[in-house]
Amino acid sequence: MTPITASGSLSKYLLGTGINHWEALVAYIKCLPYGRNASREDVFLVLKEGRGTCSSKHGCLKAVAEENGWTYITLHLVLFKMNGINTPKVASILEHHQLSYLPEAHTILRVDGQALDATSSQSDFSNLEQDVIWEEAISVAQLGAYKLQRHRAYLKEWLVNEKLPHTLDALWAIREECIAALSK
């Protein structure tokens, strides 16, 4: 087991709750419900609010890794083809809008290069791996505006290349429907 020993704010908070090693923290984060936090930028809210998205949950884990000097744990932004097979809860929404898939931004960690998806207890990155469009290492600070900008820029390009009958705003609204379905 990898003990949490740092004196940073996240690590101190976790130690105060009895979570004292990495493996217990990952298990705890995986069990938290999926839901947006009050702020995209404050990864501490995952612990305070008891919920999180893929971004906030992995951002929280990466921040703890940074506090503890675990440089072998990296945060990654992944764009993948979200479809009814790899994300069954969105199948009817995509079908309604006549989309076979929707490019969606996701975050994961890599621990010594191995993918770790702590979004939920059922999350398994291998279910998405064949649908990955691109992946890049990012910092916790890039989870807000940068992630949003990269995602929207790709969607804009995708709309043009695929000659889709949607506007970027309409596509984003479809995406929001999908995210709402994932929160249920």
Beta-carbon contacts of 176 under 8 Å, excluding residues fewer than 6 positions away, are: none
What would the pLDDT profile of 99-130 be if each residue is shown by its tens digit? 999 999 999 999 999 999 999 999 999 999 99
List per-residue pLDDT tens for the chain, 184 residues long.
Answer: 999 998 899 999 999 999 999 999 999 999 999 988 999 889 999 999 999 999 999 999 999 999 999 999 999 999 999 999 999 999 999 999 999 999 999 999 999 999 999 999 999 999 999 999 999 999 999 999 999 999 999 999 999 999 999 999 999 999 999 989 987 7
Q: For the whole prediction, is pTM greater than 0.75?
A: yes
pLDDT of amino acid 40:
84
- Three-class DSSP category at 83: coil
DSSP secondary structure of 66-124: HHTT-TTEEEEEEEEEE-TTTSGGGHHHHHHTT-S-EEEEEEEEEETTEEE--SSTT--
pLDDT at 124: 92
